[in-house]
Structure formats: structure tokens, C-alpha cells
Amino acid sequence: MKIAIAQIKSFRNNTKRNIQKHIEFIELASKHHSDIILFPEMSLTGYETKNAHKLVFEINDSRLDILKVLSEKYNQIIVTGAPLKIDEKQYIGSFIIFPNQDVEIYIKKYLHEGEELYFNSHNDFDYKINLKGEKISCAICYDIEKDKHIEDAVLSNSTLYMPSIFYSKAGINSGLQRLSYISRSFSIPVMMSNYSGKCFGIQSGGNSSAWNKDGKIIITANDKDECLLLLTKQQEEWSGELVSFYI
């Protein structure tokens, strides 16, 4: 089994360019025979709050069509995010796109202070990904700060915890400590995707990383470059490889 973790730079208010960036990363991951690729929080639009309503996606959004085609072409699950509108309410969501072109949804359960002004939380969209003997729980950013979120993942018999986040350069160290604690305390591997470069007008923290179930780091990116982290499982052990992204 092989998992690709994408660390990307986003283009503010330019969803078209962000989708093109996704295409390039998906194609790069396919060259390394990835089974699934994870992108950061709201990766299709970049992280936004008050402008999110101008960029919002719907469940059957036609802008996802090219990603569905690529998922089928490369037999690769794609986990990507955007502000999401359901029944006239706005959420922070992840689209889980399957090679048969089905799309499932995960919605952020716990909102960071201030996000409640623009988004709603939801507990009913918590899709678990079953892939090659693994059961994967998704998370979005502030979800990781709540023990109940990871407790629920463990109670569901999840074997992997995969957060999509946007942590700034100032906040990333606390996020890394938190995720190391989660993997160690709950005996579950953690694989996290963050942005590099500027996002939401501030410097993102990068450092996309993976930890084994003992809380030991498998691999980590730096704080500035776009790249893929490739995680491979063989005989119950995970190993990592960093692939640079240059276009």
C-alpha cells in the first residue's frame, strides 16, 4: 500500500489554478503508484473565511469532474477540500473521490474560533475510507485538537488517521507536537498534509509529516517547498520517501 501526502502552494481566489496544481500532483503521485493522495484543508480554493461564499463547492460540483477522471485513470483515491454548501448552509469539507467516480464527503466537526462566523459544523458526514486492509479516518485542522475526534476514530476501528490542515508558520510546532501525541497515545499512524508558501495572506507552516503508531516520525517535509511524501507499508511497517515537486 502506498499513500501520497501533498504539500502544495495555493493561489488565492483562483480555483482554476489550484485545480491545475492538483492535476500535477495527482499525476506525480501516479508515477509512484500511489493508492491514495491527501491534500491540505480547503486545497481547491486555499483556506478562506469571509470570501468562502464566493468560492464554495457543491456535492456534485462540475469542477470535480477532471479529478474524477484522473482518479479512474490512475486508480487512485483523491482526498481534497473546499468550502462546501449543503442545503444553503456552508461547511468546511473534504471530497473523497474514488476510481469508480463515486464521491463521499467528510465535514469538519470542530471549528476554530472565528470560523463559526462563516461555517457550520456537522457530525453526520464522517466517511471512513477502506483501502487494502486499512480503515482511514479523515480530519480537518482543528479536529485534531479535540481528543473526542481521535477517540471516535479509534472506536470505529480505524487504523490510520489522516488530517488535512492549514497551520501557519507560527502555529505549526504545536500542531506537530499534538499529532505526535495522538499517534503515540492512541497507537495509530498519523499522516498529515499542510500548505507551503503563503495561504490566506500569511505564511503557512509546511512540515507535512507522518508518524508511526509509537509516535516516532517517519518522514517530514520542510517549511517552504512543495513536495510529495510517499508512505509505503510493508510487513506492518511504514517507510517514507520525499519527492520534490518542480514544474
**Burial class of residue 145 (count of CB atoms within 10 Å of its CB; 0-12, 13-18, 19+):** middle
- pTM over 0.95, yes/no: yes
Distance CA 93, CA 104 (A): 10
Q: pLDDT above 70 covers what percent of the chain?
A: 100
Exposure string over 111-134, b if 16+ CB within 10 A, otherwise e: beeebeebbeebeebbebbebeeb
Q: What is the pLDDT of residues 95-114, one digit of tens each?
A: 999 999 999 999 999 999 99
**Residue whose grid cell is 491527501:** 38
Q: What is the pLDDT of residues 154-182, one digit of tens each?
A: 999 999 999 999 999 999 999 999 999 99
pLDDT given at position 169 = 97
**Three-state DSSP class for 176?**
helix
Computed over every residue of the chain, the mean pLDDT equals: 98
Q: What is the pLDDT of residues 38-92, one digit of tens each?
A: 999 999 999 999 999 999 999 999 999 999 999 999 999 999 999 999 999 999 9
3-state helix, strand, coil in the chain (%, to 5): 25, 35, 40
CATH 3.20.20.140 fits 2-244, yes or no: no
pLDDT given at position 246 = 78
Q: Is the pLDDT of residue 199 over 80?
A: yes
The amino acid present at 99, given as its one-letter code, is P
Higher model confidence: residue 246 or residue 96?
96
Contacts of 190 (CB under 8 A, 6+ apart): 160, 161, 162, 163, 179, 180, 182, 183, 210, 211
**Residue whose grid cell is 448552509:** 89
Q: What is the pLDDT of residues 125-152, one digit of tens each?
A: 999 999 999 999 999 999 999 999 999 9
Cα dihedral 193, 82, 47, 151 sign: negative
